[in-house]
Amino acid sequence: MVESDFARFDGVIGSETELAELIGTPPPKVVDKVIDRLDDICRAFIARSPFCIIATATPGTHIDVSPRGDPAGFVTVLDDRHVAIPDRPGNRRVDTFRNILADPHVGLIFLVPGKGETLRLRGEGRIVRDEALRRSMAVDGKVPALALVVRVDEAFVHCPKAFIRSGLWDTNTWPQTDTLPDIGRAMIRHAGLDQSPDDLFAEATAEGLTTLY
C-alpha cells in the first residue's frame, strides 16, 4: 500500500506529538514495569502458557505474525535472559525463520487460557540445531528439527482490557463457526485450486503436512 492509498482518510496522524496530544502520555509506572530479564512472574506465566504469538519482520518489506502452540510449558526458559521454542512440523513456509535470518528482532505474546493478562517479550532470535536442547523438547518421542532461541531484552505483563472487551474466554460470547470455511476451502478459493476439499486433505496428508509431531 502506497501513501496515496490513505489520502481518502481525514486526520491521518503523522507524528508522536499529535498522538500524545490525543491519547496523552503513559503514567511512569506503566513505563517502569518493563524489565530486561525473566523473573519468577514471567517464568510462571510461560510455564502455564500453551500458546504464543511470534512477530517478525523482513527489513523494508513486511511484518509477519505466526502462532505457536503445544501443551502448557512447551516454551523452555533456559535462563533469565533466554527462551527456546520448538519448531513442530508445519506447511514448510517457515516465514518466521526466513524473516529472522534477515532481521533477528522478535516479539512474543504469551496467552494463558482464562487469564486476561498476557506476557509480552521483545528481543533477538536465532535458529539453532543444538541436539541436547531439541531432545529436551521432544513430544511422543519426536524431536523437533529446529528450535528458536530468543534473547529477551524486554519483558512486561500487558493489561487484560482486550480480553475483557472481547469476552474471548467467555464461551457465552463465542459466535457460531459452523458456516466459516476451514483452511482447505480457503486454500481452494484463494489459490484458485481445481480440487475438492477431500482431495486436498488427502494430498496434504500424503505430503506429511497434517502431522502434528
pLDDT number for residue 165:
97
Q: Are residues 117 and 105 in contact, defined by beta-carbon separation less than 8 angstroms? A: no
Q: What are phi and psi of 205, to 5 degrees?
A: -65, -40
Class of domain 28-161: mainly beta
Kind and range of the H or E run holding 120: strand 118-128
Q: What is the pLDDT of residue 3?
A: 67
> What's residue 61's pLDDT?
75
Angle of the 197-206 helix axis to the 183-190 helix axis, nearest 10 = 100
Per-run averaged pLDDT (10 residues), the chain, 213 residues: 80 95 94 97 98 93 93 97 97 95 97 98 98 97 97 98 97 95 96 96 94 94
Report CA Rg, the chain: 20
Sketch the domain layout of the chain as residue ranges.
Answer: 28-161, 180-213
Q: What is the pLDDT of residue 5?
A: 87
DSSP for residue 53 = E
The number of CA neighbours under 13 Å toward the Cβ of 181 is 9
pTM (predicted TM-score): 0.93
User: Which pLDDT score is estimated for 4?
Assistant: 77
